[in-house]
Structure formats: C-alpha cells, structure tokens
Chain A
Amino acid sequence: MVDKIIIDGLAFSLPLFAMAIGGIFSEKSGITMLALEGIQGFGAFCGAVAFAYLQPVISGGTQVIIYPVLFAAMLGGMIFALLHAYMSIRFRLNQVISGVVVNILAMSLTIFLTGLINESLTGESSNKIWLGAAPRFSVPGISKIPVIGAIFRDLYIFAPFIVFFAVISVILLYRTRFGLRLRACGENPESVEAAGCSVKRIRYFALAICGLLTGLGGMNFAFTFSANFSPTIYMGYGYLAIAALICGNWDIRRTFLTCLIFGFARSGGYQLILKLGMSSDVSDLLLMIPYVLTLLLLLFFSRHNHPPSALGSDYEYDRR
C-alpha cells in the first residue's frame, strides 16, 4: 500500500512540478502567470491532435508516437504562453486579466476544435480525443528494493523527461548569466536595461520556456488521468501549480517539495478510501483535499514569502 501511494503520488506531483517550474520562469522574469491552466490545456490539445493524426500513419504503437506527440504538446504550450507574453508585454495589458483571458480562450478554442476535428476524423462530433494508456517502465535493479524502490517502479515515460528538464532548469536559472538576468528582470528591470540587455526579449524567452514545460505537464495529465483529451483537462491543476510555486517561495527546489506534498496527500487520500471501503460519493469529497490543502498552505506561507519585487509591472524602458 505504501508502494501504491508513492507510485501514484509521483505520477501526480511530477507533471505538477513541470508546470510549476514553467510558472517560476515566468514569474521570476516579472510576468504574473495565471495562465498555466489554459497553456497546459492547449498543449495537451495539440499533443492529442498530433496523436490522432499520427496514429494511423506511424507504426510501432504509443511507444514511438509519444515523442512527436510530446514535441507537439510543448510547442502548443509555447504558442499560448507567447500569446500571454504578447498581450502583457506589447499591449501592456494587466497581467492578471491577460492570464484569465488566455485561460478562457484556450478552454473555448480547444473544446470547439475538438468537436470539429472529431467530426472530420470519425464523422461524429464528440468532445473527446482518445489517447490510450501511456507506456510505463521500471528501472531494472533499484526498483526491486522494498519501499524506496517504488520511486523507480511503474514510472510513466514522461518522468525522465520532467526530471531532465528540471535539472536543466535549475542550472539555467541559478547558474548561468541568462538565469541571473532573468531573475533580475523580476526584481529590478531597470538594472537589466542599464546593463545593456533587453528586458522585453528576456521576458519573451522566459515565457517560451514556461510554455514548453507547461505543455509537457499538460500532456502528461491528459495521458495519465483520463487517457483522452476532453474538457475534464481543465480541473484546476494549473492553479494548483501556481499555489505550489507560491508555497515554494518561487524557488525550484522548494517547489519540488510542495508538489510532492500535494501528490502524496492526494494518493494517500485515495488509498485511505479504498482501505475503508467507502462509497464513490465520498471519494468525490476526497477529491476536494488538494484544494483545501492548497488554501491552508497558502495561509501559512503567503505572508512570509518574497515574490519577485517587479512582479506584474508592465516594464517600459522610457517610463518616468
């Protein structure tokens, strides 16, 4: 049972973590990111469309198709993240409003297009694009160790990608010149401009990275939690990721911990329900746990956190 909690918990917290890293890149560069929900949905939609069109063409099953699908999802996420960037940098729209606009637009656009694509592919309009189960694997050797081995057992194919990107992100954000400038954009954009770099260009780059990571997370959610793309992808996980990064004080390493807490609280709750043999109505009540937990965590952490000081400001180099 502990194994099961660890396996399911990781399956939930890793995609959440990917999205939270995306959010950190954006917010550290000074752009308020409430659009994660829409970006992950659009990314997942692009991946699902790629899957639907590639499946009859490429042989080799999900194992092979998954790579172009992931690529499409990340690209789709990037497109919508750049839309947010364009609205909040070029048009200097209030970034909170811009984020919500992106969310609503992504939701309506994907639902509408899903209907159209299904009509053209199968002849009947349905709001789901079927994906099937994602391939899983276990690391040979270590996965045999009791309890701890469960971390390496039945991993989704996405897990190594996310870990890889997470390591790259930590290095990029905290160990390179670009990362330093990116963080400076969120703290004191004038100093970046004084050093001869373009704040706007750095912010566009940050948003592009954010979109790539968030699209990856969204595709992962679509595969692992419903095995199809449908409007249920908009379950508020994007907002959970935002809450995770706020609790993690905009730091990638601490955010990983909060993501793990979310994941284990959720899988632990499920196992508890199974153990006690309660009805499915009660399990609905338990789905509430991550959201309640988020609120409680935010209560404790929001006051003592230090958000980037220029967060949400529309930087204009000639502003007086």
Chain B
Amino acid sequence: MKQEMKAKRLPRLRSSRLLIPLVSVVSTFAVLILVFVVIGRNPLMAIYSFFQGSGLGLKPSYSKSSSMLTDFLSYLGILSPMLLGSLGVVVGLRGGLFNIGVSGQMLTAGFLATILVGYSKLPPPVSIPLVLLIGLAAGAILGAVIGWLKYRFNVHEVVSSIMFNYIVSFLTGYFIKTKYVDPIIRSSKQVAANAKLQVIFQTSSGLKLVVPIGIFIAIGMAFLIRFYLERMAGGFEIRMVGFNREGAAYAGVPIRNVMIRTMLISGALAGLAGVTYYLGYYSTIVPKDLPSLGYDAIAVALLGNLGPVSCILSSALITIFQKGAVYMSASTGVVREIASLVTGILLLFSSLGVSMRDRSRHYD
C-alpha cells in the first residue's frame, strides 16, 4: 500500500548509539554557523570564542589573577550542577516519569542549605557534608512528593512539578526578600566561605585556583547511577516500570514503591545539583529566579541517549555554550541568549534522534 511505504521511508539506523548524537551535534553547529552568517558575524571566530570563554582555548589577554586554568576550573564548577541535574532527568525518564521540576528542586535545596548552613560558622569538614546532606534530603523529599501525587491521585508529574516550581520560586523569593536580603545586590546575602563546596589554592604566581568539589561528586554519581540502573535489582525495577508499567505490575513489581523511589532518586540528584549550583558556583540566590539550568539538563539527558555516563560528554558540550556565551557576547556583540537557542535546537535534534533510534530498533 502507498501509505505503508510512506511510514517506513524515515531513515533506519543501525549501530546508532554514537551516530545519532553526532548527527545532532553536527547539525546544531550547522544551524549555529548559519545564524552567525545571517546576522553578519564571522562564524568560526564566534564559535571559537565559546571555547575561549570556557577555558578550552587561549584568550588574547588575561587579567592578573586569571588564566586559562582558572577559566577551565570555573567551567567545571558550572558543569557539575549541569551533570547532576541531567542525571536526575535520566533516572526519571528511565522510570517513565518526566521530572521537569529540576529547577524547583535545585532552588529548594540551595535555599535550605544556604539558610541552615551557609550563614553558620561551622568548620568546612562539618559544613560541607552537611550542605550535601541537606541538598540530597530536600530534593529527595520534593521529588518523592511528586511521585506520590502521581501514584495516589493520578496528578500528571509534569503539571505538578511545574506548579511546585512556581510555588517554590515565590515562597523562597518572599523569604529572601524579607529576611535574608543583601540590600546592595538585591539577592540573598553571600554564603560564608567555610560552607562553600570549593577548595581554594593560591599559587606563587598570584593565581587563585578554585577547585569545585561538585565535579568529583557529579562524575562519581554518573558511574554510581549507571551501576544502579544496569546492575542492581532496584534499578532493574525502575527500568521495568519505565518500559511497561502494566507488564511490570503483572510481574509483581510494587509500582507505588518504584514510582516514588524513581522520583526520590531523581529529586535527590536535582537537590545535589542545587547545592553545587548555589553553594559551589554562585554564592547568592536571586529571588524569584528559577535556574534555567534545570531545563538545559533535559537537553543534556536526551543528547546523552539517557545513559548516565554518556551524560558526562553531553553536559560538557552544552556547558561550553552556556559558560562561553558571556565571553562570546563580549567579543562579538551577539546577545548571549544565543546559548539557550543553541541548547533548544540541540534538544530538538537530539529528541528527534532518540525517536528515530527507537523506531529503527522497532523495525529491526
């Protein structure tokens, strides 16, 4: 039949685990070059300036206390919440739940850690584990509530997590504005240095090296999550429920526990992302401002084919655009919002790629 041919005409790809992300990235770069040409900038220079801004290429000049290494460390600092957030999305999607509330969970965790530990005088060996613990717990609770609402009341997780995003944003905004505001910068007061998730080295040449602790946690988590999902019974249950909920129930998987557990882990990872974001990279919270990183994490997760370890690579790529946009904007005069445009286009291509992979598997 004519219709039948039409349905199968879409490209079928075998051994596409590497090919599809590669095609997505290449086509995104093509679109980016096109955009730069259309608005009359040198595309190669502009793209290179993204890398320069992320500490992956030498800038023409540096100030006294910075170098390519400090830029790179700062890049790692923002890479860690991106990776952790995307791991949260991955765990959710593997279990068939779409955690779009990563931003809200990040903000909750960051806010609680800031007010409970950030303004205290605890020594770093006590305060750093405490900050991480608060981040984990806050995110996990918020995530588990979303999972519970989904199971108990059948509230769609996307809608409820978006509602939580706005509620958290207004609620924390209110408390920051009335209690913890710094009147000069109009956001919450700076977190004390002893609570920040950083180790600072001062080199003899005057360089200040800020090593983010978050990056070690993030990469460790990526491998841990892979081990959990691929090799442990709990992770297997999550994947079963994600693959076919009715089938899993028939096989005797406790759906309620698994759904809540999926969202709990997902939320905990998002909470860790929150503390590495607010206490590891920035040190204040802007009231009523949801971190857009929570949405970029979705693009990272899809680009990484929903694999925890491949998310390391995809988050490294997307962070280059996010982090390098400031320098790119300064050196070429293009608005820095182009970074989110690139993320959006990459998200579009990679999600189409994911769908194509599923289809090619279906026909093979």
Q: Which residues of A contact B (CB under 8 A)?
A: 34, 87, 91-94, 96-98, 100-101, 104-105, 107-109, 111-112, 115-116, 125, 127, 236, 239, 242-243, 246, 281-282, 284-285, 287-288, 291-292, 294-295, 298-299, 302-303, 316-318
CB-CB nearest 3 A-B residue pairs: A108-B340, A115-B335, A108-B344
- Which residues of B lie under 8 Å from residue A302 when comparing CB positions? 153-156
Residues A92 and B3 in contact, CB atoms below 8 Å apart? no
Q: Which residues of B contact A (CB under 8 A)?
A: 3-4, 7, 10, 39, 98, 100, 149, 153-156, 158-160, 162-167, 170-171, 173-174, 177-178, 288, 295, 298-299, 302, 335, 337-338, 340-341, 343-345, 347-348, 351-352, 354-356, 359
Residues A100 and B159 in contact, CB atoms below 8 Å apart? no
Residues B163 and A239 in contact, CB atoms below 8 Å apart? yes
Seed contacts A87-B355, A284-B177; 17 additional CB < 8 Å A-B pairs: A87-B352, A91-B10, A91-B356, A93-B351, A93-B352, A100-B158, A101-B351, A104-B340, A105-B347, A105-B348, A116-B39, A116-B335, A282-B174, A285-B170, A288-B170, A298-B155, A298-B160
- Bound CA–CA A96/B99 (angstroms): 11
Q: Which of B100, B149, B171, B355 contacts A93 (CB 8 A)?
A: B355
Q: Which of B100, B156, B340, B351 contacts A98 (CB 8 A)?
A: B351
- Bound CA–CA A126/B171 (angstroms): 29
- Which residues of A lie under 8 Å from residue B341 when comparing CB positions? 108-109, 112
- Bound CA–CA A298/B163 (angstroms): 11
User: What's the dominant secondary structure at chain A's contact region?
Assistant: helix
User: What's the dominant secondary structure at chain B's contact region?
Assistant: helix
- Which residues of A lie under 8 Å from residue B177 when comparing CB positions? 281, 284
Given contact pairs A104-B298, A105-B344, A287 touches B170 in the complex (Cβ within 8 A): yes
- Which residues of A lie under 8 Å from residue B299 when comparing CB positions? 104
Given contact pairs A104-B295, A104-B347, A239-B162, A111 touches B340 in the complex (Cβ within 8 A): yes
- Which residues of A lie under 8 Å from residue B10 when comparing CB positions? 91
Q: Which of B98, B165, B174 contacts A97 (CB 8 A)?
A: B98
- Bound CA–CA A294/B165 (angstroms): 13
Residues B98 and A115 in contact, CB atoms below 8 Å apart? no
Residues B351 and A97 in contact, CB atoms below 8 Å apart? yes
Nearest CB on B from A249, distance (A): 13
B154 and chain A: residue at smallest CB distance? A302
Residues B170 and A91 in contact, CB atoms below 8 Å apart? no
- Bound CA–CA A97/B351 (angstroms): 8
- Bound CA–CA A310/B10 (angstroms): 24
Residues B4 and A318 in contact, CB atoms below 8 Å apart? yes
B169 and chain A: residue at smallest CB distance? A288
Nearest CB on B from A176, distance (A): 26
- Which residues of B lie under 8 Å from residue A87 when comparing CB positions? 351-352, 355
- Which residues of B lie under 8 Å from residue A105 when comparing CB positions? 344-345, 347-348
- Bound CA–CA A100/B159 (angstroms): 11
- Bound CA–CA A34/B7 (angstroms): 26
- Which residues of A lie under 8 Å from residue B154 when comparing CB positions? 302-303
- Bound CA–CA A317/B153 (angstroms): 33
Residues B343 and A108 in contact, CB atoms below 8 Å apart? yes
Residues A101 and B155 in contact, CB atoms below 8 Å apart? no
Residues A108 and B171 in contact, CB atoms below 8 Å apart? no
- Which residues of B lie under 8 Å from residue A285 when comparing CB positions? 170-171, 174
Residues A243 and B335 in contact, CB atoms below 8 Å apart? no
- Which residues of A lie under 8 Å from residue B178 when comparing CB positions? 281
Nearest CB on A from B324, distance (A): 16
| Selected A-B contacts with CB under 8 Å, 23 pairs | A92-B355, A98-B351, A101-B347, A101-B351, A104-B295, A104-B344, A105-B347, A105-B348, A108-B341, A109-B344, A112-B338, A115-B335, A125-B335, A236-B166, A239-B163, A242-B159, A284-B174, A288-B170, A295-B155, A295-B164, A298-B159, A299-B153, A318-B7
Interface centre among A108, A115, A287 (most CB of B within 10 A): A108
